[in-house]
Chains A and B, each alone.
Chain A
């Protein structure tokens, strides 16, 4: 207990990033993630780091590209519309095989939307982070502690696989305070022989670039990259199972939706309904294995989301439609209540899911 402090999720991300060795932050303010930038603005100058409020989101993500090219750990953060603006840069980072750490504290959309919590950037994060064939590792914290843990993990994964790792949080995760321990064993960043650090006339030039005009060459880069993605899919999926073993009904939920659902699962269990939950911690790679396994005994799945139903498609794919998957959702900045989720569970228990 003694080593735990109360922090907002946004602050926990910022402090964990600094502990992970990040000394460069570029951003542009937007609710509900502004505390990340504020924390960096306060702290970075004191530790020899760089905080820079860019002139726009597009500038910020390209500054990330620049610093990453030199091999340094670097990050940016934003909320939904801001991440959309950064999409071009995310694609360039992928094309140049550069590690980067990105945070999206989601708000309701589409468009400028609102500032209340949402999970409606699931597709954007797991499918369409920008143009071209590429993936990002997507991490979905469900507590302030995980905001910190997955930040440290995100930097490590980004360096290991030379790609973008994104923490996909939401307004509640960013704004809420919970006890958090920041006692991390930080692995040093790996050697980056590809970085543009000056040749000192002792080696060949390193070139960081995403332009490959010869299609044969560009195809090879894509194929090689997808070999790496395949390895990641097989080795890096993370999830938490809660009371799944004997469950007739299995909830799929991440982030704040998983917190709400856990309350509903506990209540349903008290009422004698055999329900459990699989909480994906990585959204890409999506943890298919636990869903495949659960589909052998579950009669129905419920995807609980703060969106019009996005992760539900991955649940359907992972369960190979062996059981019906229904949606329990709110959107536009609204959050499902435990009672709403409990109703969905009861409905499924009564054979309502088709």
Chain B
């Protein structure tokens, strides 16, 4: 695919914007054209955060992700809102700790990852976002430690080098989850 549109959505505080920024930096370092656009409207005041990321081999036209190829839903309202928007043949990654229902569509590939539970069990309760990220990148066949490490270096300040390792571990946990 020459252009992939991602939509990350969840509660404020789940690291939605951070995960998106990480992915955008990874794209930048992989020589892709990238855009990252957060929601900043009234829905934010209700505690919902989302951001759209586009990675492309061509200049990005509209940065607005209306129909994602990849939807990452970290809570039920996000799945309810965006499930129908995913393009046929697309992918949905759901945090199955927080979303009890199944995806209703049969024309998309769905990955249920109990990311919040895995994060808590591994002593990294704030990193459910990156556990999902690990699963996404492995599903897309784009999981290489060097590349992840380099992109993490862009979004985590040098003073917090320990966090870099923890984020990397979180992504490995996600990638290993069957």
A, B in one complex: yes
Residue B145 lies at the interface, judged by CB distance under 8 Å to chain A? no
Q: How far is the CB of A144 from chain B (nearest CB, A)?
A: 8
* A residues contacting the other copy or chain, number (CB 8 A): 25
Q: B36-94: which residues lie under 8 A (CB-CB) from chain A? A: 36-38, 40-42, 59-64, 66
Check if B61 sits within 8 Å of A176, measured CB to CB.
no
- Please indicate the chain A residues that have their CB under 8 angstroms from the CB of B116 in the complex: none
Residue B115 lies at the interface, judged by CB distance under 8 Å to chain A? no
* B residues contacting the other copy or chain, number (CB 8 A): 22
Residue A207 lies at the interface, judged by CB distance under 8 Å to chain B? no
CB contact under 8 A between A338 and B21, given known A4-B28, A175-B38:
no
Q: How far is the CB of B23 from chain A (nearest CB, A)?
A: 11
A175 to B35, CA, bound (A): 11
Check if B25 sits within 8 Å of A262, measured CB to CB.
no
Residue with the greatest number of chain A CB neighbours at <10 A, chosen from B25, B61, B62:
B62
Out of A116, A171, A259, which one reaches B62, CB within 8 Å?
A: A259
- Please indicate the chain A residues that have their CB under 8 angstroms from the CB of B28 in the complex: 1, 4, 6, 179
Residue B34 lies at the interface, judged by CB distance under 8 Å to chain A? yes
Check if B36 sits within 8 Å of A1, measured CB to CB.
no
Residue B128 lies at the interface, judged by CB distance under 8 Å to chain A? no
Residue A237 lies at the interface, judged by CB distance under 8 Å to chain B? no
- Please indicate the chain B residues that have their CB under 8 angstroms from the CB of A6 in the complex: 21, 24-25, 28, 34, 36, 154
Check if A338 sits within 8 Å of B24, measured CB to CB.
no
Q: Nearest CB to that of A144 among chain B residues?
A: B35
Check if B37 sits within 8 Å of A263, measured CB to CB.
no
A311 to B28, CA, bound (A): 34
- Please indicate the chain B residues that have their CB under 8 angstroms from the CB of A256 in the complex: 62-63
Out of A116, A259, A337, which one reaches B63, CB within 8 Å?
A: A259
CB contact under 8 A between A116 and B41, given known A6-B24, A6-B25, A263-B61:
yes
Check if B35 sits within 8 Å of A263, measured CB to CB.
no
Q: Nearest CB to that of A335 among chain B residues?
A: B64
Q: A97-151: which residues lie under 8 A (CB-CB) from chain B? A: 114-116
A176 to B60, CA, bound (A): 12
Residue A31 lies at the interface, judged by CB distance under 8 Å to chain B? yes
Residue B139 lies at the interface, judged by CB distance under 8 Å to chain A? no
Q: Nearest CB to that of B28 among chain A residues?
A: A179
Out of A1, A4, A171, which one reaches B40, CB within 8 Å?
A: A171
Q: How far is the CB of A86 from chain B (nearest CB, A)?
A: 22
Residue A178 lies at the interface, judged by CB distance under 8 Å to chain B? yes
Residue B31 lies at the interface, judged by CB distance under 8 Å to chain A? yes
Check if B21 sits within 8 Å of A177, measured CB to CB.
yes
0/1 interface trace, chain A 236-269, chain B, CB 8 Å (1 if under): 0000000000000000000010011011001000
- Please indicate the chain A residues that have their CB under 8 angstroms from the CB of B21 in the complex: 6, 177
0/1 interface trace, chain A 313-336, chain B, CB 8 Å (1 if under): 000000000000000000001010
Check if A175 sits within 8 Å of B34, measured CB to CB.
no
Residue A82 lies at the interface, judged by CB distance under 8 Å to chain B? no
Residue B29 lies at the interface, judged by CB distance under 8 Å to chain A? yes
Residue A172 lies at the interface, judged by CB distance under 8 Å to chain B? yes
Q: A181-231: which residues lie under 8 A (CB-CB) from chain B? A: none
Q: A28-42: which residues lie under 8 A (CB-CB) from chain B? A: 31-32
- Please indicate the chain A residues that have their CB under 8 angstroms from the CB of B36 in the complex: 6, 176-178
Q: Nearest CB to that of A179 among chain B residues?
A: B28
Q: How far is the CB of A265 from chain B (nearest CB, A)?
A: 9
